[in-house]
Each structure stands twice: as C-alpha cells, then as structure tokens.
C-alpha cells in the first residue's frame, strides 16, 4: 500500500524516537533540494520530500527529477571523514532496501557498490549518496529510484529502479528502514564497514581510470579504506584516492560513468 504524504511525519517521527542519531523531522511536500533545505539545520535533523525538483549528485552533477517516483532524503550528523560516511551510508541503504524487498516480495535485488557513492543493480545505478559539509555538520543526502518505469534517453542506459526489477515498495517504508539502518552503521567500527563494503564492491579486482584534481589515475583497484579512500595500484606504485575529489571514468574514452 502506498501511503499518502500526510502519513509521513508521524511514521518518521516514530522511527526517529527509537534512534540515537536524530531528533527532528522535516517532511516537505516539494522542495528544490533536501540538501539545500538541510544546509542550516543542526545535527540530528531528518529532511524528506515528496518531490525533489533540483536534486544533485557528487561534484555538482544533476539528479534527475522523476516526480514522486524516487526517495529523496537528507540527514545531518556530526562531521566525520567523508570516505567513511559514504561507505557506511551505502551499506545502510543497501541493507534496508534488500530487507524491505524481501519482507514485502519474498525476494530482493542484490545491491552492489561502485565506490564511493553509487548503489548498483545489474550494472545500473539504483541510487546514490551525497555528503556536503557546513560548519562542522555533514548533510548526507540519499536518493533511491523506486517506482520509475522509464528514464530519459540521457540516462536510460545507466539508471534503474526497484520497479524495473519487479519490486514495488512504499517510499515511506523505505525511508523508515534506511533511518533505522543508518543509526547502526554510522557508529559501526571501521573494520565492520570495510568488510561489509568489500562484500558488495564491484570495482575491487578490476582495472579502472579515475579523474582526480591532479589528473587521470589508472590502475588496479586493490581495496577500500573507510577513512582514507580507494586504494589503486598504478605503474608508479599504490595510491589512495579521496572520495570527495575523485570520480570513476570509463578507461576507453574518459567519459564519466
């Protein structure tokens, strides 16, 4: 059952009351960006929108507006290394999605990670994590494609949704599940985060090219450090690439994935 937006505040507040990370809930019928709305909010805030018109991804990229078919939410937490936050949030979102799908449909998609922030199903992007910092507060944006049956030609080859894989979930249920999962993973030990990430990682063991502030880095992905970033073995030795300033490139043509 798809519940109306009027049900969202009470349901999310009930979940928040059982967490340690958050204490304030803002449910918006529509907004340009949950990240922008959360920019001046204190630690412990949850922002969720029925529709996000002008969402964005990492490094200033746009996030397609697909009306009310996707989940758009932001939580604010005390600042921590962005590499760690991105990985912990990806794990939390993946587990929440799989558990909700399993409970409602008797099956679940296998969600992989494309470092540092993409949730992937069958080599297409299901969702993403965006971390922005203001005055010692991290705003963590989470976007998940839920009910979309199609995408614009520009992103159709790269994007997917739960509905396209046969899973129909209520966005409110998904938001509640993610908040509960995030409450656990944001305080998990780094070793736990690394192990859980590696189990879903789709880059480790492959050769890839990365855009960095100092140019393109190519090599074999050999691991992930939740605090420092991605470990890449290059012809000049091992390098660690920071999540905040690195993007994955297609080696053949250097176009961004």
Is residue 28 pLDDT above 80, yes or no?
A: yes
pTM of the model as a whole: 0.86
Q: Are strands 137-145 and 70-78 parallel, antiparallel or unpaired?
A: antiparallel
Is residue 63 pLDDT above 70, yes or no?
A: no
Q: How confident is the model at residue 57 (pLDDT cuts 50, 70, 90)?
A: low
Q: Which two tokens stand for residue 2?
A: 């798809």
Taking a C-beta distance cutoff of 8 angstroms, is the pair 95, 181 a contact? yes
Q: How confident is the model at residue 44 (pLDDT cuts 50, 70, 90)?
A: very high
Mean per-residue pLDDT for 125-148?
Answer: 93
Q: How confident is the model at residue 152 (pLDDT cuts 50, 70, 90)?
A: confident
Taking a C-beta distance cutoff of 8 angstroms, is the pair 129, 94 a contact? no
In this structure, the chain runs to a length of: 257
Mean per-residue pLDDT for 8-24?
Answer: 96
Residues 6+ apart with CB under 8 A from 54: 32, 33, 62, 65
Q: How confident is the model at residue 62 (pLDDT cuts 50, 70, 90)?
A: low
**How many whole angstroms separate alpha carbon 219 and alpha carbon 183?**
35
Whole-number pLDDT of residue 49: 95
Is residue 61 pLDDT above 70, yes or no?
A: no
Residues paired with residue 237 on neighbouring β-strands, in sequence order = 234
Residues 72-131: pLDDT tens digits? 999 999 998 877 888 899 999 999 999 999 998 889 999 999 877 899 999 999 999 999
**How many whole angstroms separate alpha carbon 71 and alpha carbon 59?**
20
Residues 6+ apart with CB under 8 A from 249: 208, 209, 210, 211, 216, 255, 256, 257
Kindly report the average pLDDT of the chain as a whole number: 88
Mean per-residue pLDDT for 201-213?
Answer: 89
Exposure string (b/e) for 149-181, b if CB count within 10 Å is 16 or more?
eebeeeeeeebbbbbbbebebbbbbbbbbbbbb
Is residue 247 pLDDT above 90, yes or no?
A: no
**How many whole angstroms separate alpha carbon 159 and alpha carbon 145?**
8
DSSP string covering 59-109: GG-B----TTSEEEEEEEEE---HHHHHHHHHHHHHHHHHHHHHHHHS--P
Taking a C-beta distance cutoff of 8 angstroms, is the pair 232, 238 a contact? yes
Residues 158-178: pLDDT tens digits? 899 999 999 999 999 999 999
């Amino acid at each position: 059952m798809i519940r109306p937006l009027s049900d969202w505040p009470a349901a999310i507040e009930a979940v928040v009351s059982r967490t340690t990370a958050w204490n304030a809930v803002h449910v918006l019928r529509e907004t340009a960006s949950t990240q922008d709305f959360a920019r001046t909010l204190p630690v412990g805030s949850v922002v969720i929108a029925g529709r996000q018109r002008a969402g964005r991804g990492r490094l200033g990229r746009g996030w397609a507006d697909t009306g009310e078919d996707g989940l758009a939410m932001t939580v604010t937490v005390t600042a921590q290394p962005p590499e760690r936050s991105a990985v912990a949030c990806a794990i939390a979102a993946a587990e929440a999605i799989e558990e909700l799908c399993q409970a409602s449909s008797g099956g679940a998609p296998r969600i992989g990670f494309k470092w540092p922030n993409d949730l992937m199903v069958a080599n297409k992007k299901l969702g993403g994590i965006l971390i922005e910092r203001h005055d010692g507060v991290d705003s963590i944006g989470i976007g998940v494609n839920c009910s979309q049956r199609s995408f614009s030609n520009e992103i159709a080859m790269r994007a997917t949704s739960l509905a396209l894989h046969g899973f129909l979930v209520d966005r409110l249920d998904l938001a509640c599940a993610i908040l509960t999962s995030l409450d656990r993973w944001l305080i998990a030990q780094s070793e736990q985060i690394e192990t859980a990430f590696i189990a879903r990682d789709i880059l480790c063991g492959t050769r890839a090219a990365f855009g960095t502030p100092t140019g393109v880095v190519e090599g074999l992905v050999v691991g992930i450090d939740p605090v420092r970033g991605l470990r890449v073995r290059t012809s000049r030795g091992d390098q660690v690439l920071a999540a905040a300033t690195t993007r994955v490139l297609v080696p053949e043509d250097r176009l961004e994935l």
